[in-house]
Amino acid sequence: MLPRPDLSRATPSADVLTLSGGRTLVSVAGAPIDAITWEETCAVITGWAQRRESRYVCICNVHSVITAQEDPDFHDVIQSADMATPDGAPVAWMMRRLGYRDQMRINGPDLMFRYCAQAAQRDESIFLYGNTQQTLERLQRRLLDVFPALKIAGSYSPPFRALTPQEDAEVVQRINASGARTVWVSLGCPKQERWMAAHRGRIQAVMLGVGAAFDYHAGTLQRAPLWMQRHGLEWLHRFWSEPRRLGRRYLVTNTKFTVQVVKQLLGR
């Protein structure tokens, strides 16, 4: 497993760190994010999955970055991830400003759909963990409508409480016995990232925290129009859709993020 550098203490001249094996991490407001293409992302995950390696992937937006900055434990979770992709448009934009001009958003919903398409062709099974039972049922129907050959090895909707050690052990055994090569996790940030970190080494599959991707693909939430996605305005669509739940997150975290990246750029 690759070493985990501590970019929280990086100086302005050390925003980029290249590790052995070719992995490149860019410090975005102190959070280490992978500079990576869509093709590389899918290829690396595929390799891990085929070898049944226990890994976890964090999909990092502005909320993730600011939470990592304010919560040292969560920062460790992101830093220890086997991959941390730039989900939010502002995160990808900052990476482009730091020298990676072609960096694109590697977001959860698109990654899930791209990977499921490839998994269906390879006869590779997936597991769905999180969200509600109703959403899981709708999601499975939707995925099988689009990818009839996709193997869904199982799904699990955890209760809205912490699992007992026995319950957790049973879930781990169930996932491992299913033969799934990837586990797609929808618990919301930071819960899903903490869950994946706690289960690395126990679940013999690649875990990917994709947040609202389950709701988008199941049709329980409407995703932003393509033109808004392309112009980095998907957050605004979510804000309009769920102002009570997400209003404070976007107003506060986006402001904090703007302040932090301006400081980082001026420091360079």
Q: Residue 157 in contact with residue 130, Cβ under 8 Å?
A: yes
Residue 98's nearest CA partner among 31, 144, 158 is 31
The mean of the pLDDT values for the chain is: 89
Domain ranges, residue 107: 1-268
**pLDDT(108) > 80:** yes
pLDDT the model gives residue 117: 98
What is the distance between the alpha carbons of residues 109 and 206, in angstroms, rounded to a whole number? 16
Q: What is the mean pLDDT of residues 118-131?
A: 98
The mean per-residue pLDDT over the stretch 137-147 comes to: 98
pLDDT reading at 8 higher than 50: no
Give how many domains the chain has, as a whole number: 1
Q: Is the pLDDT of residue 226 over 70?
A: no
Q: In this predicted model, which residue has the larger pLDDT, 15 or 134?
A: 134
Tokens of residue 66, six digits:
């600011």
Tokens read off for 124: 């590779």
pLDDT at 84 over 80: yes
pLDDT higher than threshold 60 for residue 56: yes
2 band by pLDDT with thresholds 50, 70 and 90: very low
Predicted confidence at residue 231, as pLDDT, reads 56
Q: Which of 5-9, 55-59, 176-180, 226-230 has the lowest mean pLDDT?
A: 5-9
Q: Is the pLDDT of residue 97 over 60?
A: yes
SS3 string, the chain, reads: CCCCCCHHHCCHHHCEEECCCCCEEEEECCEEEECCCHHHHHHHHHHHHHCCCCEEEEEECHHHHHHHHHCHHHHHHHHHCCEEEECCHHHHHHHHHCCCCCCCCCCHHHHHHHHHHHHHHHCCEEEEEECCHHHHHHHHHHHHHHCCCCEEEEEECCCCCCCCHHHHHHHHHHHHHHCCCEEEEECCCCHHHHHHHHHECCECCEEEECCCHHHHHHCCCCCCCHHHHHCCCHHHHHHHHCHHHHHHHHHHHHHHHHHHHHHHHHHC
Lowest mean pLDDT among 82-86, 197-201, 217-221, 228-232: 228-232
Q: Tell me the average pLDDT across 81-107.
A: 95
Q: Which two tokens stand for residue 165?
A: 């050690």
Mean pLDDT of 194-209: 98
